[in-house]
Amino acid sequence: MGAGIKAVFATSFARLQFRNAINYGMSFVTARDMNLACETGDELEYHPETGMVYNLTKNLQFQCVPVAPFVAEVAASGGLMEFIRKKIADGTVQDLK
């Protein structure tokens, strides 16, 4: 994303927010009680494959729901539109023009 944000962390998200995050290629990460382990300004390190989040500021770690493989693939592509473009370019999906 333009602001350099790669993930958003919260205890929950509305379904619409989650869908839009996927479309833009951004991970929305949920973990129960995350608000008890983090404060504004804390530096976090996230490992999407395992779902582990490390609060580097407070030297804490906690488990969240790992990102689904499809969501990770869309995020790695830079969003849904880039994902589709790459699929068309590599022949996985046909262009319907």
Q: Which domains does the chain have, with CATH numbers?
A: 7-89 (3.20.19.10)
pLDDT of the residue at 54 = 92
Which amino acid, residue 49? E
What is the mean predicted confidence (pLDDT) over 25-42?
84
pLDDT, tens only, 34-78: 888 889 889 989 888 888 999 999 999 988 888 888 888 888 888
Supply the mean pLDDT for the chain.
84
Please report where in the chains the tokens 């990770």 appear, as a residue. 72
What is the mean predicted confidence (pLDDT) over 27-35?
82
pLDDT of the residue at 8 = 83
